[in-house]
């Protein structure tokens, strides 16, 4: 079980329960819930968290999580917001089955959208958000103010996920924290605690976030790159050659298919009379990455980073790690496997015709983008402490703090 961070749980010696809708304070243990929707570019996920507080003066702990996801993401319904709202209704049915009925009225429900909606025209994004607000209003759960919103880049840069992943280290007052890498469909994020002041001084000001924890302020390096997620990068790579037709040497030569991203369908293909393979693919992908992603000063050091989402998924699909256990790899391992996949596209095509492009993009993003060395260690994980790895748990903690309801 996970302890909630102390600064979030106690404000002027008040319990987190003081910030929930007014309920009777039991003498014995108290169970309460939080519902967080992650509306991403490729899918919408619901996280239903169960917390237990044995005594009002003690810290609550996270008891367990119910996780469920649907595809496609809300942004795919940009022209049909009512249908997008129906996907939220379906997920709320999961919440109603998970949260006991007597807890519904005091269980907050929140939706935060990420890159998928940020990439849409403002009026279309707002129409989808308004539809979600209407669906939330129909639900039996507690709907706080500003419960439906689009996250800004700094929040999606995962300081929230970072402190949940590193909470055990922080509780013991050690600086041996790990960095966080996340690769979504529409955007990619990096967050870590700098060890060198030069990293802070040489980074763009907007890349440094001050996080207040345990009456101390931590300066995190954190940034979200909109349009540099795995699926968005496919679109950019397909257009990297400047041709009218979306072709790429990262795709099998005989590949022809309609491909949809952001609600728009594209005709894509391999290069029928040209060459395909890792070297040419890397050249195409490098034009999408190099010089666009900032390289932090100390990133070439020996720090360990946890890598989530598509980093994990593509490593599993390419056979780099076991999907049930995750695993620890080096950046060079992604490069080696990308070469194998790209030079044997026919073998890997049944898994995904985009696997060469995706693995090459991951390799290029890590090396040419962020500037990691070949021997940088990456811990690929789907869960940390049996909790889905995302910003959602940290955002739930933070939302309890901001409710301020008496």
- Least Cα distance to 379 among 329, 318, 321 occurs for 329
User: What does pLDDT average to over the chain?
Assistant: 80
Report the chain's terminal Cα–Cα distance, integer Å: 28
Flag whether 188 is marked binding.
Answer: yes
Give the integer Cα–Cα distance in Å for 249 and 257. 15
Residue 231 backbone class (left: φ over 0; alpha: ψ -120 to 50; beta: rest): alpha
Could you tell me what percent of the chain has a pLDDT over 90?
A: 39
Contact in structure between 33 and 21 (CB atoms under 8 Å): no
What is the SS3 string spanning 64-95? Answer: EEEEEEECCCHHHHCCCHHHHHHHHHHHHHHH
- Hey, which residues does 224 pair with through a beta bridge? 189
pLDDT category at 80 given cuts 50, 70, 90 is very high
Residue 146 has a pLDDT of: 85
* Cα-to-chain-centroid distance, residue 50: 21
Considering only CA atoms, which of 88, 171, 178 is closest in space to residue 133? 88
Q: Considering only 24-33, 130-139, 361-370, which range has the smallest mean pLDDT?
A: 24-33
Provide the 3-class DSSP secondary structure of residue 8. helix
Q: Is 189 annotated as a binding residue?
A: yes
Residue 5's pLDDT band, with cuts at 50, 70 and 90, is: very low
The strand pair at 109-113 and 30-39 is best described as: parallel
CB-based contacts of 92: which residues, under 8 Å, 6+ apart? 46, 109, 135, 139, 141
DSSP 319-382: TSSBTTTBEEEEHHHHHHHHHHHHHTHHHHTTT-TTHHHHHHHHHHIIIIII---TT-EEEE-S
Per-residue model confidence (pLDDT) at position 169? 54
The CA R_g of the chain, rounded to the nearest whole Å, is 22
**pLDDT for res 317:** 94
What is the pLDDT at residue 28? 63
CA distance 383 to 165: 10
Cα dihedral 388, 390, 394, 400 sign: negative
The whole-number pLDDT of residue 171 equals: 44
Is 185 marked as binding a ligand? Answer: yes
Q: What is the pLDDT of residues 278-332, one digit of tens each?
A: 999 999 999 889 888 999 998 876 678 889 889 999 999 999 999 888 889 999 9
What is the arithmetic mean of pLDDT over 212-229? 79
Residue 241 has pLDDT above 60, yes or no: no
Residues designated catalytic? 156
pLDDT band at 401 (very low <50, low <70, confident <90, very high): low
Report how far Cα 252 is from the mean position of its chain's Cα atoms: 29
Q: How many CA atoms lie within 13 A of 26 on its CB side?
A: 9
Report pLDDT for 381: 82
pLDDT at 23 over 50: no
Is pLDDT above 50 for 92? Answer: yes
What's residue 18's pLDDT? Answer: 36
What is the rounded CA–CA span in Å between residue 344 and residue 236? 23
How many residues comprise the chain?
A: 406
Is the predicted pLDDT of residue 361 greater than 70, yes or no?
yes
At the fourth CATH level, the homologous superfamily of domain 2-151+391-403 is: ATPase, nucleotide binding domain (3.30.420.40)
Q: Are the beta carbons of 216 and 191 closer than 8 angstroms? A: no
pLDDT at 60 (0 to 100):
64
Q: Which residue has the higher pLDDT, 218 or 34?
A: 34
If we measure between CA atoms, which residue out of 181, 157, 207, 204 comes closest to residue 376? Answer: 181
Q: What pLDDT shows up at residue 25?
A: 42
Sign for the CA dihedral angle at 196, 199, 201, 207 comes to negative
> Over 60: is that where the pLDDT of 343 sits?
yes
pLDDT (tens digit per residue) in 42-73: 889 999 988 887 776 665 677 888 889 998 88
pLDDT at site 215: 57
Check residue 367 and give its pLDDT. Answer: 94
Give the per-residue pLDDT at 385.
58
Strands 304-309 and 377-380, bridge-based pairing: parallel
Distance, CA of 96 to CA of 140 (rounded, Å): 9
* pLDDT-above-70 percentage for the chain: 76
> What DSSP element (H or E) covers 12?
none
Q: What is the DSSP letter of 206?
A: G
The CA angle 209-213-217, to the nearest 5 degrees, is 50
Between 43 and 357, the more confident residue is: 357
Write down the pLDDT at residue 372. Answer: 94
pLDDT at 6: 30
Give the model confidence (pLDDT) of 154-207 as tens digits.
554 455 567 666 654 544 445 577 888 989 888 898 988 888 899 999 999 999
What is the pTM assigned to this prediction? 0.70
Q: Tokens 């802070």 — which residue?
A: 200
Choice among 10-14, 241-245, 300-304, 314-318 with the minimum mean pLDDT: 10-14
Which architecture, in CATH terms, is 152-390? 2-Layer Sandwich (3.30)
> What does the pLDDT read at residue 267?
84
CB 258 within 8 A of CB 266: yes
pLDDT given at position 245 = 65
- The ranges of the chain annotated as CATH 3.30.420.150 are 152-390
- The CATH 3.30.420.40 portion of the chain extends over 2-151+391-403
Where residue 40 falls among pLDDT bands split at 50, 70, 90? Answer: confident
More confident residue, 223 or 240: 223
């Amino acid at each position: 079980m996970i302890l909630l961070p102390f600064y979030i749980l106690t404000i002027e010696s008040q319990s987190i329960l003081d910030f929930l809708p007014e309920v009777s304070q039991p003498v014995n243990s108290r169970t309460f819930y939080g519902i967080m929707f992650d509306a991403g570019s490729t899918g919408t996920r619901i996280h239903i968290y169960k917390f237990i507080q044995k005594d009002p003066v003690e810290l609550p702990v996270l008891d367990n999580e119910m996780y469920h996801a649907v595809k496609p993401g809300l942004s795919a319904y940009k022209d049909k917001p009512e249908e997008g709202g129906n996907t939220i209704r379906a997920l709320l049915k999961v919440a109603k089955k998970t949260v006991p009925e007597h807890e519904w009225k005091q269980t907050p429900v929140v939706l935060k959208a990420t890159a998928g909606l940020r990439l849409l025209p403002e009026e279309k994004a707002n129409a989808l958000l308004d539809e979600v607000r209407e669906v939330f209003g129909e639900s039996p759960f507690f709907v706080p103010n500003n419960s439906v919103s689009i996250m800004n880049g700094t929040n999606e840069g995962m300081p929230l996920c970072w402190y949940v992943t590193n909470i055990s280290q922080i509780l013991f007052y050690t600086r041996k924290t790990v960095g966080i890498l996340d690769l979504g469909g529409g955007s990619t994020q990096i967050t870590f605690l700098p060890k060198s002041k030069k990293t802070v001084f040489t980074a763009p000001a907007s890349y440094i976030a001050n996080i207040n924890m345990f009456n101390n302020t931590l300066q995190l390096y954190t940034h979200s790159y909109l349009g540099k997620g795995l699926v968005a990068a496919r679109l950019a790579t397909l257009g990297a050659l400047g041709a009218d037709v979306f072709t790429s040497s990262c795709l099998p030569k005989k590949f022809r298919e309609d491909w949809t991203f952001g609600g728009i369908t594209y005709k894509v293909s391999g290069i029928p009379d040209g060459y395909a393979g890792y070297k040419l693919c890397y050249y195409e992908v490098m034009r999408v990455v190099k010089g666009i992603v900032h390289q932090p000063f100390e990133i070439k050091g020996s720090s360990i980073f946890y890598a989530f989402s598509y980093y994990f998924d593509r490593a599993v699909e390419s056979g780099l790690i076991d999907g049930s256990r995750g695993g620890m790899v080096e950046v060079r391992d992604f490069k080696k496997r990308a070469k194998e996949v790209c030079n044997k596209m026919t073998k890997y095509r049944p898994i995904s015709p985009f696997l060469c492009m995706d693995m090459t993009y991951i390799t290029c993003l890590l090396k040419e983008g962020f500037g990691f060395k070949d021997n940088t260690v990456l811990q690929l994980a789907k869960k940390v402490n049996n909790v889905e790895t995302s910003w959602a748990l940290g955002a739930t903690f933070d939302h309890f703090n901001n409710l301020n309801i008496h």
